[in-house]
Amino acid sequence: MSAVAGQVQAGPGRAGLLPFGPRGWRWLAGLVAAVVLAPLLITALSWLQVDAAIWAHLRATLLGRLITNTVILLAGVGVLVLVIGVGLAWLTAVCDFPGRRWFDWALMLPLAVPAYVLAFTFIGIFDYAGPVQGLLRDLFGTSAWFPPVRSTGGVVLVMGLVLYPYVYMLARTAFLAQGAGLMDAARLTGMGPWRAFFRVALPMARPAIAAGTALALMEALADFGAVAAFNYDTFTTAIYRVWFGFFSLETAAQLASLLLLFVALAVFGERYSRGRARFYQRGVAGNRPRIRLRGMRGGMAALACGTVLAFAFVIPLIQLLWWVAGNSLADLDAQYFGMLLRTLALGAMAAAITVTVALMLAYARRVQPDWFTQRAVGVSTLGYAMPGSVLAVAVMLVFTRVDGWLAELFGVPGGQWLTGTVIALLVAYSIRFMAVAFNSVDSAFEQVRPSMAEAARSLGSGQVEVIRRIYVPLLRPGLFAGALLVGVDVMKEMPATLLLRPYGWDTLAVRIYEFTSDGEWQRAALPAVTLILVGLLPVILLVRRSVAQRRRVSGPVPGAAP
């Protein structure tokens, strides 16, 4: 500690104090919270100006279908991610069967596949003109009995396959943390394996399962590309239609506020499912004996894991690579590399801004942990619950009003200083993914002893110097992880980019949407493969973290991912 403190020694003239004292961090956190709340407030105020003609048209033609489709999507995806995520988590965490060590981490790979990529790949494979139905017609003379992929069941299946890892990761961690004594005690009372699972293990893991399900449902509500590929009307597609079809930003904001109600219900449902219940776990699983599944039972377990992984990752990736090799290499031109550079640039800029603000929020909560700062930091991370389409509409409304004020101030009618610029896009990204960066940075902060910063201050270092020369070096792994997660999320983000991008700032996600809208699945394969390869980076990071955590708890994990 003394060595580190010696590195930051500075005289009074070099203290680098900020223009505000420790309490100033409270107001900084409040300012960030106000930036997050402003779009929500403007969205709510959009109901003060209602276009009766547009709403009459929506009620007559679309609104009922939007609500019905959204409820069905939430119910279907919720059930599917619960069944797949919890089932696979129990198998890999508690049981032993052929291939378990490989499936343990491989089942997280679907996180790298954006929902809209899996959607158009499924359509290309299983639609009437696809290879599967073509083969069935060759073999049996017809494929009329094959279930249509462009259906409610198809979109629910795709969303469930993409989103089950949220439940799988959290449920698997919860099952691993349950000590062997719990199941042993249940077995001593006469419970069989199934009854012990439903009466003991599942209730203990319920908070983690509920949190993972809520995350999956919020992602389903926020999706635009997958439901658009299936022509499945939801609020996200309606927002896009109203904005660019009726050119009514206010009506789009009103639809966005209705979508937020569904998000609030998903969050409330997760909190209500826990109620006042508290679950305490003593010890960890360690190297407890696993339930051995041999013969047919082991084969069925491996088949279940392999089937999910095949349809969620392996088969789509093979199809995309086949399309790339057969057609898409012709699109590997200057325009493609330009879009790739813009995609990377947006991800890098958003990651730098978001991680910097997250660092300031985490530091504010550390040096000024009062009620106001805690609540302000909590509000600042609410953006992850807001779909990208909602944020896009809200940010556009705010910037439109700000541009109007600036136009009056400078006497330049019709001037656009903020709307239609990269600034609007970066603000939406930062609000949307602040929670991702903050969680990573804040968890790293917990590993830094306060005494180190106190020693540096006692030697005359100011706040900026302490942050720059104490916290930043020690927090570098957390900062890097947060930047990586945010950057990849930004590169895959479609709704906000599609609605807010400036002219000439098309990204890979936008290019995929344009190709799939025209039914050109083969040409969409190249940018899709690129996004999957980029998306593998945070998945590898999550796998390595999981393996490292298990090694700290129970020693080396044989056969684990490197």
Q: What is the pLDDT of residues 69-87, one digit of tens each?
A: 999 999 999 999 999 999 9
> What does the pLDDT read at residue 6?
40
Angle of CA points 484, 485, 491, to nearest 5°? 90
Band of the pLDDT at 106, cuts 50, 70, 90? very high
| Residue 220 CA neighbour count, 13 Å, CB half | 33
Report residue 342 as tokens.
């813009």
Q: How far is CA 127 from CA 132, 146, 155, in A?
A: 8, 10, 13
Comparing 143-147, 314-318, 385-389, 413-417, the range with the smallest average pLDDT is 413-417
Q: Would you give the distance in Å from CA 70 to the centre of its chain?
A: 19
Between 65 and 472, where is the model more confident?
65
Report the alpha-carbon distance of residue 95 to residue 176 in Å, rounded. Answer: 11
Q: 519: phi > 0 → left, psi -120 to 50 → alpha, else beta; which?
A: left
Residue in 104, 115, 133 with CA at minimum distance from that of residue 312: 115
8 A C-beta contact, residue 397 and residue 419:
no
Report residue 18's pLDDT band, with 50, 70 and 90 as the boundaries: very low
pLDDT band at 557 (very low <50, low <70, confident <90, very high): very low
How large a percentage of the chain has pLDDT more than 70?
A: 81
Determine the Cα–Cα distance for residues 22 and 280; give it in Å rounded to an integer: 36
Radius of gyration of the chain (CA): 25
Alpha helices in 8-50 (DSSP H): 24-45
Which single residue is written with the structure tokens 């699972």?
197
Q: Which residues pair with 95 in a beta bridge?
A: 291
For residues 383 and 432, the answer to whether their CB atoms sit within 8 Å is yes
| Gap between the Cα atoms of 430 and 39, Å rounded | 13
In which band, very low, low, confident or very high, does the pLDDT at 309 lie, cut at 50, 70 and 90? very high
- Average pLDDT value for residue range 292-312: 92
The pLDDT, as a whole number, for residue 452 is 67
Contact by Cβ (8 Å): 532, 334? no
Give dist(CA 6, CA 454) in Å, integer: 12
Does the domain made of 64-326+529-562 have the CATH classification 1.10.3720.10?
yes
Parallel, antiparallel, or unpaired for β 95-96 and 291-292? parallel
The CB-side HSE value for 48 (13 A sphere, CA atoms) comes to 6
- Residue 231 phi/psi, 5-degree rounding, is 55, 40
**Across residues 256-265, what is the average pLDDT?**
83
For residue 149, the 8-state DSSP code is S
Q: How far apart are CA 39 and CA 395, in angstroms?
A: 6
pLDDT at position 427 = 92
Say whether pLDDT at 91 is over 70: yes
Q: What per-residue confidence (pLDDT) applies to 469?
A: 73
More confident residue, 407 or 392: 392
- pLDDT value at position 19? 46
Mean pLDDT value across residues 220-247: 89
More reliable by pLDDT, 158 or 195: 158
For residue 179, the tally of other CB atoms under 10 A from its CB is: 15
Reference 507, options 334, 340, 335; nearest CA is 340
Positive or negative: CA dihedral 65, 71, 74, 78: negative
DSSP 170-209: HHHHHHHHS-HHHHHHHHHTT--HHHHIIIIIHHHTHHHH
Q: Which of 245, 275, 313, 121 is CA-nearest to residue 499?
A: 245
Q: Please give the model's pTM, rounded to 2 decimal places.
A: 0.84
The confidence score (pLDDT) of residue 182 equals 62
Q: What per-residue confidence (pLDDT) applies to 204?
A: 78
With tokens 């609104």, the residue in question is: 63
> Alpha helices, DSSP H only, in 242-328?
249-274, 295-309, 315-326
Give the pLDDT of residue 83. 95
**Domain layout of the chain by residue ranges:** 23-61+327-517, 64-326+529-562
**What pLDDT, on the 0 to 100 scale, is given for residue 283?**
45
- Greater confidence (446 vs 33) lies with 33
- Which residue type, as a one-letter code, is found at position 174? A
Q: pLDDT-derived band of residue 350, with 50, 70 and 90 as boundaries?
A: very high
pLDDT tens for each residue of 116-133:
999 999 999 999 888 898
Q: Would you identify the CATH topology of the domain 23-61+327-517? A: MetI-like fold (1.10.3720)
- Here the tokens at position 552 are 């700290």
* Predicted local confidence at residue 443, as pLDDT: 79
Cα 246–chain centre separation? 30
Type of residue numbered 34? A
Summarize the confidence of residues 298-310 as an average pLDDT. Answer: 94
Element spanning 292, H or E: strand 291-292
Residues 447-463: tens digit of each pLDDT? 777 666 667 667 666 66
Q: Exposed e or buried b for every residue in 129-148, given b needs 16+ CB within 10 A?
A: ebeebeeeeeeeeebeeeee
Assess whether the region 23-61+327-517 and the region 64-326+529-562 belong to the same CATH fold: yes
Q: Confidence band (pLDDT; 50, 70, 90) for 61?
A: confident
Q: Which among 377, 370, 360, 374 has a CA at the least distance from the CA of 471?
A: 360
- Whether the pLDDT of residue 276 is over 70: the answer is no
pLDDT of the residue at 288:
58
Amino acid 462 reads G
- What backbone torsions phi and psi does residue 179 show, to the nearest 5 degrees? -65, 155
Neighbours of 195 (CB within 10 A): 13
Give the per-residue pLDDT at 273. 62
Read off the pLDDT of residues 529-548 as tens digits, 9 standing for 90 and up. Answer: 999 999 898 888 877 776 66
d(Cα 403, Cα 399) in Å, to the nearest integer? Answer: 6
Which is more confidently placed, 140 or 452?
140
Spatial distance between the Cα atoms of 162 and 73, rounded to a whole number of angstroms: 14
Q: What is the mean pLDDT of the chain?
A: 82
pLDDT digits (tens, 9 = 90+) for 149-174: 999 999 999 999 999 999 998 888 88
Q: Quick one: pLDDT at residue 21?
A: 58
Per-residue confidence (pLDDT) for residue 157, from 0 to 100: 96
pLDDT band for 3, please (50, 70, 90 cuts).
very low
